[in-house]
Amino acid sequence: MSFLRFACCPEKLKDPRSPAMTRQIVMEITQRAQTRPLKMRFRRRSFLGLLFLFSLSTSALYFIYSAPGIVNEYLFMVQARGMRIRENMRNIGAQVLEQVVRSAYSVNGTDYLYDFNLSDTSAPPTPYLPVGFTYLPTDICPEKLPTMKGRLKVDMSEISLSRVEKTLQKSDSTIRLGGHWKPHDCIPRWKVAILVPFRNRHEHLPILLRHLIPVLQRQRLQFGFYVIEQAGDEPFNRAMLFNVGFKEAMKDVQWDCVIFHDVDHILENDRNYYGCSGMPRHFAVKLNKYSYILPYDEFFGGVSGLTAEQFQKINGFPNAFWGWGGEDDDLWNRVQYAGYTVSRPPGDVGRYMSIPHHHRGEVQFLGRYTLLRHSKERQRLDGLNNLNYSPLVSRRSLYTNISVTLSRNLAPIDEY
């Protein structure tokens, strides 16, 4: 304003004070000229910063949605490490005592002679049978055989299914068509159906079969492998595939134990006995991608087992979980609502390695939190009792393949 005042009234410049006022005007003009670019640069940089943060956040959200397995792997690992630190601080005395006892009852420093049951269901330790122990064909197969040595060397290299077939054919025990086997030197304690949900994991299945079949044979279990393959374009529904596999397997043989097994989980200890018990069993307690730490107490994923009676009592898995995540937590809830307590193998027996993925996997299922909040109400409505499907069953040399096209109208559910 002062500049305009003097510009329109030049006679005022003759005032004796005009040199000082002129300098003031010049300073004001210079200051304004310097301030305006600074403000413009600040606004421009602020806009670019906000644009960068927006792009970064949207990219992160899209990555979480499209590749949830990778994201949750790191989140579970951080969460599990925090839980492990807190647990160690609380139980440091008990852990020292346990290590002393384990050292006293170890074989060659690695294989435990006694099985310490640290799960929710307590049981007295049972000794493993000594080398050279004999039993008759009319005896029930022992649960803790001397052939079960503990830690295994895990071969994660890719192999063709035909090579696995040739390797297993060289062994003394012949696997029948459809992936069935049972021991002849004793009566199997459990008849176990291994259910494997499957889609586009052709490089993983031979690795699992090569590793797991000899372990089950050493454990003297009668078993059959069922690969439930999802066809169609719908998001992967692991839980519904398990329900389909259970129904089809029970039509084939009256199994009394069912193992729900991810195709990319490879056990590291053959003393992780794949039989069932009075309580549902969670086998995959410690996974290498989670730094061998249980992600959270209610974690029930990877490999779990229930008797056929238990699975029918809880109405199976929920069918409403399309995409990644939530179905294992819902199964945990169903087990708890039915009055069961989940048991786990002790110590390092429940260690597994995860086969590296060459793809991102399934997209995130964003509706899982709403379903989990209504888990109890949905249990009687959504599961084995509302499932309709048309399978295509074919028997392969090492497994029975059950191909099924899933859609949301195959498992209708009423409002709850």
- Domain assignment present for 260: yes
135 Cβ contact partners less than 8 Å away, ≥ 6 residues apart: 141, 142, 185, 186
Contact yes or no for 287/265 (Cβ under 8 A):
yes
Please enumerate in sequence order all residues whose Cβ is within 8 A of that of 299, keeping only pairs 6 or more positions apart, or say none.
282, 328, 332
Q: Distance between CA 179 and CA 3 in Å, rounded?
A: 96
Element (H or E) spanning 56, and its range?
Answer: helix 18-66
For residue 343, being part of any structural domain is answered with yes
Q: Distance between CA atoms of 146 and 27, rounded to whole angstroms?
A: 95
- The Cα 413–Cα 394 span in angstroms is 30
- Are 117 and 158 found together in one domain? yes
Q: Chain-wide mean pLDDT for the chain?
A: 81
Pair 34, 163 in one domain:
no
Task: Give the model confidence (pLDDT) of 339-353 as tens digits.
Answer: 999 999 998 999 999
At residue 207, what are phi and psi to the nearest 5 degrees?
A: -65, -45
Structure tokens at 102: 């384990």
Q: 14-18, 228-232, 343-347, 405-409: lowest mean pLDDT where?
A: 14-18
Residues 102 and 9 grouped into a single domain: no
Q: Are residues 18 and 158 in the same domain?
A: no
Max mean pLDDT range (71-75, 133-137, 312-316): 312-316
Predicted local distance difference test score (pLDDT) of residue 375: 85
pLDDT of residue 132: 75
| pTM of the complete model | 0.73
Nearest to 398 by CA among 205, 156, 184, 258: 205
Residues 86 and 125 in one domain: yes
Structural domain contains residue 415: no
> In the prediction, which pLDDT does 54 show?
74
Please provide the size of the chain in residues.
Answer: 416
Burial of 305 (0-12, 13-18, 19+ CB in 10 A): buried
Last residue of a domain, one of 19, 47, 65: 65
Which residue range is the domain that position 99 belongs to?
71-410
Between these two residues, 55 and 80, which has the higher pLDDT value?
A: 55
For residues 386 and 213, the answer to whether their CB atoms sit within 8 Å is: no
Mean pLDDT of 205-234: 96
| pLDDT tens readout for residues 4-32 | 454 455 554 455 556 777 777 767 777 66
Residue recorded with tokens 């945990």: 332
- Ramachandran angles phi, psi of 39, nearest 5°: -65, -40
How confident is the model at residue 199, as a pLDDT?
93
Within a domain: residue 254? Answer: yes
Q: Is 285 helix (H, G, I), strand (E, B) or coil?
A: coil
Question: How confident is residue 274, by pLDDT bands cut at 50, 70 and 90?
Answer: very high
Residue 8 parent element (H or E): helix 2-8
Of the candidate ranges 158-167, 212-221, 231-240, 351-360, the one whose mean pLDDT is the lowest: 351-360
CA distance 152 to 269: 5
Q: Answer whether residue 411 shows pLDDT above 60.
A: yes
Tell me: pLDDT of 214 over 90: yes
Q: What one-character-per-residue DSSP string does 153-182 give? A: --------HHHHHHHHHTSSSPPBTTTEE-
Q: Is 416 part of any domain?
A: no
DSSP output for 396-412: -SS-EEEEEE--GGGS-
Least confident stretch, 47-61, 185-199, 229-243: 47-61
pLDDT band at 118 (very low <50, low <70, confident <90, very high): very low
| Whether residue 206 is found in the same domain as residue 271 | yes
Final residue before a domain boundary, out of 38, 65, 92: 65
Token duo for residue 65: 């949605």
Residues 240 and 304 both lie in one domain: yes
Query: What is the Cα 207 distance to its own chain's centre?
Result: 18
**36/159 same-domain check:** no
Residue 160: give its domain's CATH number.
Answer: 3.90.550.10
Q: Same domain for 60 and 76?
A: no
Domains identified in the chain, total number: 2
160 assigned to some structural domain: yes
Q: Note the pLDDT of residue 114.
A: 37
Q: Would the pLDDT of 102 be above 60?
A: no
Q: Which amino acid is at 149?
A: K
The pLDDT, as a whole number, for residue 6 is 46
- Do residue 17 and residue 99 come from a single domain? no
Classify residue 253: in a domain, yes or no: yes
What confidence score (pLDDT) does residue 123 get?
A: 43
DSSP-derived letter for residue 344 is -
Asked if 37 and 78 sit in the same domain, the reply is no
Greater confidence (201 vs 159) lies with 159
- Closest C-alpha among 190, 175, 73 to residue 142: 190
Rounded-to-integer distance, Cα 288 and Cα 395, Å: 33
Q: Grade residue 308 by pLDDT with cuts at 50, 70 and 90.
A: very high
In a domain, 356, yes or no: yes
Structure tokens at 169: 């054919």
Report whether 173 contacts 324 (CB < 8 A). no
Same domain, 61 and 127: no
Q: What is the rounded average pLDDT of the residues 27-43?
A: 67
- For 260, counting Cβ atoms within 10 Å of its Cβ (0-12 exposed, 13-18 middle, 19+ buried), the class is buried
Of 24, 39, 65, which one is at a domain's C-terminal end? 65
- In this prediction, residues 391-399 reach a mean pLDDT of 97
Per-residue model confidence (pLDDT) at position 104: 57
